[in-house]
Each structure stands twice: as structure tokens, then as C-alpha cells.
Amino acid sequence: MGWTAIAEAFSAARSRGEGALVAYLMGGDPDPRRSPAYLAAAAAGGADLLEIGIPFSDPVADGPTIQRAGVRALRAGTTPETVLEIAAAVKRETGAPLVLMGYYNPILRFGEEEFCAAAAECGADGLIVPDLPPEEAVSLGEAAGRHGLGLVFLVTPETRDGRIGLIAAHTKGFLYLVSRYGTTGERDQVSSGLAALIGRVRDRAGGLPIAVGFGIARPEHVRAVVGAGADGAVVGSRLVRAVEEGAPPEALEGLVRELKAATRA
């Protein structure tokens, strides 16, 4: 398993003539007891990878919806250890590739080596740490590598061409392409320049799969992302909002099923 499971998920989707769907949910939301059921529902709906958020008090890359989810999770007593327990339960039930998304401070407090060892033991395959650039991620990357975890980095519309190559060289699993400026959150439409952006990144991505996130919320968004040449789409805020609004896991599964169907267009 490990980061190769992430790459294999993208490869398998490609072989079926579809894009991969990465479904993000906040670990511990609405509470640690119910969180695994929502993640399992996302897998049952067809998500190719699950991205599990670790709640943090200062989530600089996240918009209001995911910020509120983090607050709910923290108030319900969720800790990094809790999220690892949730990941282990979800892995046992679904077998889906898992990527943990968390900010660096909780990982540093946990201990880089200790966190990577615990994450791998719980079935995680990769890590996304949005506030840690490659230049400052050397020791974490080495720890992740020792435990088979892929460290996934982000590129944005303003990332310079030369830097895209640098970031890709430090990334394992897939390259996360931020579709627009700003934080996470639902938007009405995808950027009109997305195809050109994907093409520019692909030329420098070293063969890594490219998944587009931030603002991807509807089936038509997913369809547009895959149609523009991406290997996958990341949907987060829309799914988190469903949990916030009290939708049962079965309803979330149906929502994910609709999103996944759009990857086949």
C-alpha cells in the first residue's frame, strides 16, 4: 500500500476512461463517533480516494465551510490521534486509499517521525500539508518516505514554471492543482483558463497525475475539470456542507455517486 496505492487509484480510473474523484471530509465531523460512517459513505458512492482533514485552529487555506467543520470537530473532542483512529476504522471497512490533510503545527507537536509511523500504521497512504513548502519539508518528507507515505504538494495559478518542476520532484502520488486564487469553498463555475493552466502544469509535472481542487462542487464542475485534461477532481466543501446540514450518510453517498458519474463524461 502506501503512496503507490494513490498512484494506482489514478491509473485504474484512467484505464476505465474516467477521472479520479477525491472526496474530502473533515475528520471528527460532526463528531468522532459518526465521522467514519460519512467517510465510508463517500467510498461507497464511488470516491477513488478519501482525503481526511485534521482539524486545526488556524486553517489558512480553508474557507468558511471547512473552517466551521474544524470547529465542530474540535469542540467534539477531536485530536490528531482521534483522526488516526477514524482513518484506521475507515481503512478496515473500505480499503480505499487515504490521504490525511493537516497543517504542520499539529504534526510538529506530535513529532514528524512518530506521526508518519502512526499514520502508516492506521492505513494512511499520503499526507497533504498545505502550509509547508518543499524547501521546509525535507525532514517530514524523509520520515514519510521511511513509512511509505506520499507527500502531496500544491501548485497554484501563480506558481512559476520552474517552481512547478521543483514541487513535482518532491511530490508522490499526485500533484494537487489549486484551480483559483483564495481559499477552499464552493463557486458557481470553474475558471475559464483551466485547460491552459492544466496544460502548463502537465508539461512540468514529470508524469504525475494532476487533481484539481478548490471551488469544485457540482457534477458539471467535475465534468469540466476532467474535460479540461485533469486526471481527477477534489471535492470538499460541498460534501462538508452536506454533513453540516445534517444529511445522513446515505444522502452523502448519493451526492458522491453523482459527482463520480461526472468523471466518466
Q: Show which residues are catalytic.
A: 51, 62
Diameter over CA atoms, the chain: 45
**Do 88 and 119 form a contact (C-beta atoms < 8 A)?**
no
Omega before residue 64 within 30° of 0, cis: no
Spatial CB neighbours of 236, under 8 Å, sequence gap ≥ 6: 23, 24, 25, 51, 66, 184, 213
> Helix, strand, or coil here: 1?
coil
Secondary structure of residue 168 in the 3-state scheme: helix
If we measure between CA atoms, which residue out of 21, 54, 56, 26 comes closest to residue 38? Answer: 26
Alpha-carbon dihedral angle through residues 234, 67, 132, 204, given to the nearest 10 degrees: 20
Side-chain half-sphere of 117: how many Cα atoms within 13 Å?
5
